[in-house]
Amino acid sequence: MKLIINGKDVETDEAHTVTELLKEQKVKWPDMVSVELNGTILKRETFASTGLNEGDKVEFLYFMGGGRESD
Partner 1 sequence: MSLTEQQIERYSRQIILKEVGGPGQEKLLASKVLIVGAGGLGSPAALYLAAAGVGTLGIIDYDNVDLTNLQRQVIHNTSDVGREKVASAAEKIKAINPDVTVQTYRERAAAANIREIIKKHDFVLDGTDNFPSKFLINDVCYFEKVPFSHAGILRFDGQMITVLPGQTACYRCVFDKPPPAGLVPSCSQAGVLGPLAGVIGCLQATEVLKYLLGVGELLTDRLLIFDGLGLQFREVKVTRNPDCRLCGQEPSITELADEEQAACDLKASQ
Residues engaged in binding partner 1 (CB under 8 A): 6-7, 29, 31-32, 34, 36, 39-41, 43-44, 59, 61, 63-71
- Residue 7 vs 11, nearer CB to partner 1: 7
- Residue 41 vs 48, nearer CB to partner 1: 41
Burial class for 18, CB neighbours closer than 10 Å (0-12, 13-18, 19+):
buried
The Cα 7–Cα 62 span in angstroms is 15
Q: Measured from the CB of residue 46, what is the shortest distance to partner 1 in angstroms?
A: 10
From the list 44, 50, 16, the residue with the least C-alpha distance to 3 is: 16
- Residue 14 vs 43, nearer CB to partner 1: 43
Q: Measured from the CB of residue 36, what is the shortest distance to partner 1 in angstroms?
A: 7
Beta bridge partners of 3: 10
